[in-house]
Structure 1
Amino acid sequence: MEHAMFRHLTIDTLTAWLDDEAPLTLVDIRDPASFAAGRIPGSRHLDNDSVPALLEAAPREQPMVVVCYHGHSSQQAAAWLAGQGFAEVYSLDGGFTEWEYRLPERVERAG
């Protein structure tokens, strides 16, 4: 069985894309409480309940970036999403933990 391919994305590259306002879909697969407490601006929470809406609404030709805690579980999710027909799927290396450590001013917080 052939596995769909995803690519690794560095925080520096994602930062540049966001600064350039490049069209992309940014999904965060961490638990709801962690997502609510802090997230990369523009990201949407993705869990089993919201997958159908994402599959229906997200443009297949637009890059999709998957964020988790440390960049490990996002790889499985990215591979699965690539298999759903998205053209470019990326797993964020270092995940939200590294993003928050390096770019605390670029974390959107609840409240």
Structure 2
Amino acid sequence: MTAATFQHLDIATLGDWLDADRPLTLVDIRDPASFAAGRIPGSRHLDNAGVPALLAGAPRETPLVVVCYHGHSSQQAAAWLAGQGFAEVYSLDGGFTDWQVRHPDRVEA
């Protein structure tokens, strides 16, 4: 049996997907205060307490994109979520920090 894996997603591709209204589940694993201060439009905060609701409600066939601060801790979360049966799981390279630098007009609070 092979381990479930995730893929890396760059900022430009995520921007294209959002522009095209591509169906996806976008989760942000940063701390609640950082998420409240600014986030990628359409994202939802995910912490340990929210994982059961995500697993129960998110469609497994819809791409799942995990966002953190810089694109490091999202890799661990993405690998774990890939093991939970999601068909396509991505870790956003550069994380929210890079998104905010490249797309300051595409940050909501």
Task: Report the TM range for the smaller structure's normalisation.
Answer: over 0.9
Task: Map 1:73-92; keep pairs closer than 5 Å.
Answer: 73-92=73-92
TM-score (norm. length: structure 2): 0.98
Give the equivalent residue in structure 2 for 1:11.
Answer: 11
- The total of aligned residue pairs comes to 109
Give me the whole-angstrom Cα distance separating, in 2, the residues matched to 1:32 and 1:52.
17
Task: Map 1:1-111; keep pairs closer than 5 Å.
Answer: 2-109=2-109
- CA-CA distance at 1:3 after TM superposition: 2.9
TM-score (norm. length: structure 1): 0.96
Give me the whole-angstrom Cα distance separating, in 1, the residues matched to 2:98 and 2:3.
27
* Code of the aligned partner of 1:86: F
* Code of the aligned partner of 1:98: D
Give me the whole-angstrom Cα distance separating, in 1, the residues matched to 2:2 and 2:40.
32
- CA-CA distance at 1:2 after TM superposition: 4.3
Give me the whole-angstrom Cα distance separating, in 2, the residues matched to 1:98 and 1:42.
17
- CA-CA distance at 1:4 after TM superposition: 1.5
The 3-state SS of whatever aligns with 2:61 is coil
Give me the whole-angstrom Cα distance separating, in 1, the residues matched to 2:92 and 2:62.
16
* Code of the aligned partner of 2:100: E
Q: Which ranges in structure 2 are unaligned for 5 or more consecutive residues?
A: none
Coordinate RMSD, CA, aligned: 0.9
